[in-house]
Amino acid sequence: MAHPAAATASAHDVHAHELGFVRTYIFSTDHKMIARQFLFLGLFMMVIGGLLALFLRWQLAWPETPVPLVGRLIWPDSEGVISPAVYNMMFTMHATIMIFFVIMPILAGAFGNFLIPLMVGARDMAFPRLNMLSFWAGALAGLLMLAGFFVEGGHAAAGWTSYAPLSAIPQYSGVNWGQNLWCISLFVLGVSSMMGSINYITTIVNMRAPGMTMFRMPLVIWAMFITAILLLLALPVLTSAVAMLLFDRVFGTNWFNPAGGGEPLLWQHLFWFFGHPEVYILILPAMGIASDVLSVFARKPIFGYRAMAFSIIGIAFLSWVVYGHHMFVSGMNPALGTSFMITTMVIAVPSAIKTFNWLGTLWGGNIRFTVPMLNGLAFVSMFVIGGLSGIFMASTPVDIFIQDTYFIVAHIHYVVFGGSIFGAFAGIYYWFPKMFGRMMNDTLGKLHFWPTFVFFNFVFFPMHILGVGGMMRRIYNPMQYEFLTWTEPWNIFISVSAFLLGLGQIPFVINFLWSLFKGPKAPLNPWSANTLEWTAPSPPPHGNWGAALPVVYRGPYEYSSPEVPEDYLPQTRRLTTAGASSRAH
C-alpha cells in the first residue's frame, strides 16, 4: 500500500491539492496507483487460475475419483467427482483467466503503468483519466468473467480458443450464459486494453524527459512500447470476433455456422490473427524486464542493445504473419501451410538473437544472485526451452503429429509460465521497493524461487514426453485409451509436482503481504541501478518528480563504466570532466 503521508508531503506545486481516500486509492488517476490496482487484480486472479489448474491435475492423475477435501462441497451432485463438462469448463477458464486476467494485467497493466512514466521521465500517463477508465474496464471485465461461474449451465467450456461452431451454438456445448459472459467480458477487456495502449504509446512518444532519446530508453520500455502497438492492433480483432460470436449466439446471425452459410474457419483466422500476436504481448514485457534485471545484477551493459531493440520490433512485425501455424491441420489450404511455416521459422531468429545477447550480458559480469536475478535467469533458461520446442511445431510435417497433444501444453507453459510468470516475479521482486517503498524478504524470496523453479520443470517437462507419446490435450481421462495407459505414472508424477508447485507459492504470498506492511523501508536506489525511476523517492509521490523533470545524459545500461569509480552510472548523472562527477539528483 502507498503511504499517504509520503504521497501528500511531496506533492509540490504540480499537484498541490490533497486528494480524498476515494480519489487516492480507488478512482485514482495516478499511474502508480493504477499499476498497483492492476497488480492486485492480476495476483488475485492468479490464485483462481492456479486452483483451477490443480483441479485439472487431480482429474488427470486420479480420473473420476472424488476431489479430496473440497470436492463434495463444490460438486455435491457427483459426490466430489469432476464431470467431463466441468472439466471442459475448468481448462477453458484456467487458460482464459491466466492469459487475460493474470499475465496481461500484471505484465502490461501493472508494469506498463508503473514503469513507463517513471522510466521515461514523465509525471504521469498522457491521459490519466483514460488510464483510470482502462483499469476499471479491466476490473469490470474480470467481474463479468468470474460471474460466469455462477450462471445456469456453467461457464464457457469451448476452450480458451472457443472454436466455432462449438462456441457459436449453445446446444453443442450445453453452455449458454457462460459463453455469452465470456464474449462480453473479453469485449470489455478489449476496450480496456485499447485505452491502455493508446496511453502507453502517446506517453512514450511525446512525454520523454529532456535527453531521453528513443535509443536511451531501457529495453523494458521498448518492450512495453511494442507490446502497446501489438495490443492496439491485435485486441480489436478479438473484440470484433467475440462480438460476431455473440451475435451468432444471441441474435441468430450466421458468421460461423455452416448450416446458415457461415464459415467455421473464419473464427480460427480471426482468433489466431489476434492470438499469435497475443503470445508476444504476453512474452515481450517479460523479455524487457529480464533484460533490465540481467544487466543490473550482472553489473554490465546489456549486450547488443540495438539488436535487442530491433529484435523486439522484428518479433512484433513477424507475429502477424505466422498466425496460420496454429491451423496446419484445420482444413486450410495446405499451400498456405508452407508459407506460414517459412515465416514461423524466421521468427525464431530474433528470439535466438535475444537469447545470445542475454548470454553475452552474463559473460564477463560480476553476477549477484538476488531474488529478482534468480527469476530473471529462470526466465531466460525456460524461455530457451519454450522457444526451441516451438521449432517442432513450425515444421509442418512434425506438426501433424504434435498438434493438439501435450507437447503443445508443455510448449505454451514454458513460454507463458516459464517465460511470462518468471518475468513477472523478476519484476515484482525488483520493483517492489519502488512500488511500495518497502523491501521484500530475501530468504522468503529464495524459498519461493527454488521450489517454483524445480517443480515447474517437474510439472511441464514430462508433458513433452506425454505429447510425443500421443496424449491429446483437453481430454478428461487419458485412461480411456489403450495407447495411453503408459502415461498413468507420468500423470501422477506431474500432478504431485503441480500440488507442490502450488504450495511453493505460499512463501511468495506471505512475503508479499508481510513486506507490504512490515518490510524495512526501501532506500532510494537499493539495487544501485541506473534508470530514472530509482532517482524518485520510494514510493514516488503523485507527479513523480520535484519541480524539475529529470535530465538524461546517457543510455540506461552504463554499469562498470571506466568513467566512474562506482560500478554504475545513473542516466541523470552529469559528468563534467572525465572521472570527476557531480550528482544531478
Partner 1 sequence: MMRWLPENISTYGAEIDWLFYLIYYITGVTFILVAGAMIIFLVAYRHREGRRATYTHGNATLEIVWTIVPALILVILTFLSVPGWTRIKSRLPESDIHIRITAKQFNWEVTYPGPDGKFETEDDQTFDNEVHVPVGKPVILHLTSRDVIHSVFIPQARFKQDAVPGRVIHQWVEVTKPGKYEIPCAELCGFGHSGMKGFLFVHTAEEYQQWLKEKWPS
Cell numbers at 195, concatenated: 485505452
- Min dist CB 367 to partner 1, Å, is 5
Cβ partners under 8 Å of residue 372, min gap 6:
293, 297, 426, 427, 429, 430, 527
Whichever of 29 and 375 has its CB closer to partner 1, that residue is: 375
User: With contact defined as beta carbons under 8 Å apart, do 418 and 493 qualify?
Assistant: no
Residue ranges in 339-358 that form contacts with partner 1 under rule CB under 8 A = 341-342, 345-346, 348-349, 352-353, 355-357
- Signed CA dihedral, 486, 491, 494, 497: sign only: negative
- Min dist CB 585 to partner 1, Å, is 23
- Min dist CB 534 to partner 1, Å, is 19
Q: Which of 124, 6, 530, 84 is nearest to 295 (CA)?
A: 530
CA pair distance 403, 461, nearest whole angstrom: 17
Task: Note the Cα 461 to chain centre separation in Å.
Answer: 21
Whichever of 479 and 496 has its CB closer to partner 1, that residue is: 479
Residue ranges in 514-573 that form contacts with partner 1 under rule CB under 8 A = 557, 559-562, 567
Whichever of 89 and 223 has its CB closer to partner 1, that residue is: 89
Whichever of 403 and 491 has its CB closer to partner 1, that residue is: 403
Cell numbers at 330, concatenated: 484445420
Residue ranges in 171-230 that form contacts with partner 1 under rule CB under 8 A = 172-174
Q: Which of 202, 477, 505, 528 binds partner 1 (CB under 8 A)?
A: 477
Cell numbers at 82, concatenated: 469432476
Q: Print the binding letters for residues 98-137 with partner 1: x by CB under 8 A, - otherwise.
A: ----------------------------------------
User: With contact defined as beta carbons under 8 Å apart, do 248 and 168 qualify?
Assistant: yes
Q: Which of 50, 80, 360, 537 binds partner 1 (CB under 8 A)?
A: 360
Is residue 556 helix, strand or coil?
coil
First to last CA, the chain: 26
- Min dist CB 181 to partner 1, Å, is 19
CA pair distance 399, 391, nearest whole angstrom: 9
- Min dist CB 489 to partner 1, Å, is 11
Residue ranges in 294-333 that form contacts with partner 1 under rule CB under 8 A = 298-305, 307, 329-331
What letter represents residue 511's amino acid? N
Q: Print the binding letters for residues 365-404 with partner 1: x by CB under 8 A, - otherwise.
A: xxxxx-------x--xx--xx--xx-xx-xxxxx-xx-xx
- Min dist CB 247 to partner 1, Å, is 19
- Min dist CB 339 to partner 1, Å, is 10
Residue ranges in 253-292 that form contacts with partner 1 under rule CB under 8 A = 258-259, 262-265
Q: Which helix (H) or strand (E) element contains residue 140?
A: helix 128-147
- Min dist CB 215 to partner 1, Å, is 12
Whichever of 329 and 439 has its CB closer to partner 1, that residue is: 329
Integer angstrom CA distances of residue 160 from 129, 179, 275, 525: 31, 11, 10, 41
Is 60 a binding residue for partner 1 by CB under 8 A? The answer is: no
Please tell me what DSSP assigns to residue 1: -
